[in-house]
Amino acid sequence: MSESLGPGPGSGPGRGPGPGVPGMTAASAFAGMRRVSPVVFKAGCPDCRGRFELAASALRLAIGATSRTTFYSFTCPECGSAVRKPAGERVVELLTGGGVRTLRLHSTV
């Protein structure tokens, strides 16, 4: 008995199983993916030295024209201090990818 590597008759988008996984439908493939874990970021407060996790909604990212004007900020959940820290390229990438609200700063020149 030989096995076909290509799609069989009647298969394809919306038509049932494709090659390689008999009986697999899009609905059954994604059935376990109904809930997505929220993204959390580890942070620390320079004032009280507290360490904690923050949801993306608790952070703000400001992207400026230079590295000196690019930063993220949050309010410390332990002492209430407003915290502002520099954000390099990698931090900007992680925060934007994690859904942190972003403000783009621009010069008025």
Burial 26-38 (b: 16+ CB within 10 A, else e): eeeeeeeeeeeee
Which pLDDT score, from 0 to 100, does residue 83 have? 98
Diameter over CA atoms, the chain = 74
Which pLDDT score, from 0 to 100, does residue 72 have? 97
Among 73, 68, 67, residue whose Cα is nearest residue 46: 73
Question: What is the mean pLDDT for each group of 10 consecutive residues in the chain (109 residues)?
Answer: 41 49 67 70 97 96 93 97 96 94 81
Which pLDDT score, from 0 to 100, does residue 37 have? 73
Which pLDDT score, from 0 to 100, does residue 1 have? 40
Which pLDDT score, from 0 to 100, does residue 55 have? 96
Q: CB 87: neighbour CB atoms within 10 A?
A: 22
